[in-house]
Amino acid sequence: MTFIDKLRSRWQSADSLLCVGLDPDPTRFPAHLRGRDDAIFAFCAAIADATAAYACAFKPQVAYFASARAEDQLESLIAHLQRSHPQVPVVLDAKRGDIGATAGHYAREAFERYGADAVTLSPFMGRDSIEPFMAYADRGIFVLCRTSNPGGDDLQMLEVDGERLYERVARLVAGNWNAGGQLGLVVGATYPAELARVRALVGELPLLVPGIGAQGGDVQASVHAGRTADGTGMLINSSRAILYAGSGENFAEAAASAARHTRDEINRHRRR
Amino acid sequence: MTFIDKLRSRWQSADSLLCVGLDPDPTRFPAHLRGRDDAIFAFCAAIADATAAYACAFKPQVAYFASARAEDQLESLIAHLQRSHPQVPVVLDAKRGDIGATAGHYAREAFERYGADAVTLSPFMGRDSIEPFMAYADRGIFVLCRTSNPGGDDLQMLEVDGERLYERVARLVAGNWNAGGQLGLVVGATYPAELARVRALVGELPLLVPGIGAQGGDVQASVHAGRTADGTGMLINSSRAILYAGSGENFAEAAASAARHTRDEINRHRRR
């Protein structure tokens, strides 16, 4: 089963577009976890187990593991996700971008070492920087297109031949870069008009949409801008608002409640 | 001492613009190293010790360590470089690009965990994706500008307001992004005309130049295009041609010979 098939199947079976972002910050962990050697694994696994029912995908962010020398815990976490929640695809948020043999090593990191179903990549170095990842035919790739931060304007909004750079990236990725049908785009929720523009350009391509919750993106506007005709097509990511919904021993229940609430809010708007 | 000061000092004291790229591929290691648990460290440390006299910088590439689950060996390697060759700056080739708290975690990875003097980053997400790295005032940052691969054309050669995207990146990075004087650019040796154009746009900014040797870039053309008025300003990277100059027990001596030869070839062209 390819990543795209797994994702489509999960959208239907879970009736959810919510992607649970796993950005573990140990300074915000509940007190009872803090002393443990495997605190990062234990925190993320508990969050994932509690929120899986409401999730169309999990998205661990490599940087949080790398800064804490916790690659081993990221390996254990993804192994746990694949074993306990095999129907929920795992998107490794790595935003890698390199060429040739080096890109091949990053692909091996994401897909063989960590066993992710999909990865995020930067388009800046061009199509041949994506190809070593496409060689894994059953995996998916989300290419950065329009990011949710203010500085996203610096390059992405530049005008090239009558369109914006992010529009060109969207057309390239949905067009001749996507020979294997493995690609999607990352488009921030903070710019709904541009999310709608991307959807208009790319047909049914999956869109990974960060920026709701802590970053201020509006759920209704994002869903209306980004959904496909059948009301799917999006992975709407929430990280901090779910991970840190509670701060005590019941943090996982609080996360589940926040995830259910967000899934339901998304679903209300999907159907209108 | 800042990264830029350390680099300028090293250009003078070593009389070298050669950057030794550390891209360890265990399938190409000499047979006597292959069984060792610390083969990656041992290989890179031996290469570095043998080539340090000819190097203005070392550039370990994270992907090769990450695909091999060898982050611990990368930590040990950079600690060894800083202890044994403290006058040679270490550029961690990571090409990270993310925003906010996540970028902060990648900065901590590069500068605190690994103790690198400088890092490579992608410009795609804009200035605020660089700022968490600039918060480390004594470190340096090389931003991707014009890359040495064929796909580099896909975005970097697009025309924006009468200039190419790579020219815009060069002007931004040399201009208002560079408040702390910490920035440089990555410009491939495979396009000497564009290297000359970047030099014309950015004054004395340091340029990290991959692509000579295995990738086919011409040393003479690159040096003439990229040097500053005083004949410095460049870190001309060679990886495979040095690392795999020999394949037997004398691999380090072969690497030293290749590094000395490349440094000398660069120096011949610098002064003409």
Domain residue ranges of chain B, discontinuous segments joined by +: 3-270
Per mean pLDDT, which range of A138-142, B28-32, B153-157, B187-191 is the poorest? B187-191
Q: What Rg value do the Cα atoms of chain B yield, rounded?
A: 18
β-pairing verdict for B18-22 and B57-60: parallel
- Percentage of chain A lying above the pLDDT 70 cut: 99
Q: Is B23 on the interface with A (CB under 8 A)?
A: yes
- Position A216 scores a pLDDT of 73
Contact A154 B61 (CB under 8 A): no
pLDDT at B215 over 80: no
Instruction: Provide the 3-class DSSP secondary structure of residue B205.
Output: coil
Count of residues making up chain A: 272
Find chain B residues with C-beta within 8 A of A129's C-beta: 149, 151
Distances (CA, A) of B80 to B118, B223, B254: 16, 30, 21
Q: Is B8 on the interface with A (CB under 8 A)?
A: no
In CATH, the number for domain A3-270 is: 3.20.20.70
From chain A, the residues in CB contact with B99 under 8 A are: 147-149, 151
Mean pLDDT of A142-158: 96
pLDDT attached to residue B195: 97
Question: Residue B56's Cα: distance from chain center in Å?
Answer: 10
Query: Any idea how long chain B is?
Result: 272
Q: Half-sphere exposure of residue B90, counting CA atoms within 13 Å on the CB side?
A: 27
Averaged confidence pLDDT in chain A: 96
Structure tokens at B172: 């931004």
- ipTM (interface pTM): 0.97
Query: Which chain A residue has its CA at the smallest distance from B96's CA?
Result: A96
Q: What is the pLDDT of residues A195-243, one digit of tens each?
A: 999 999 999 999 999 988 767 779 999 999 999 999 999 999 999 999 9
For residue A252, which amino acid is it?
A
- Note the pLDDT of residue A69: 98
Cβ neighbors of B200 (< 8 A, separation 6 or more) are none
**B250-267 pLDDT, tens digit each:** 999 999 999 999 999 999
pLDDT band at residue A271 using 50, 70 and 90 as cut-offs: confident
When pLDDT is cut at 50, 70 and 90, the band that residue B271 belongs to is confident
* Tokens, residue B249: 């027990």
| Average confidence (pLDDT) over A112-124 | 98
Chain B CB contacts of A95 under 8 Å are: 96-98, 122
pLDDT for B89-134, tens place per residue? 999 999 999 999 999 999 999 999 999 999 999 999 999 999 999 9
CA B97 distance to own-chain centroid: 16
* Selection from B87, B75, B11, B15 nearest residue B267 by Cα: B15
Q: Would the CB atoms of A128 and B151 count as touching at under 8 Å?
A: yes
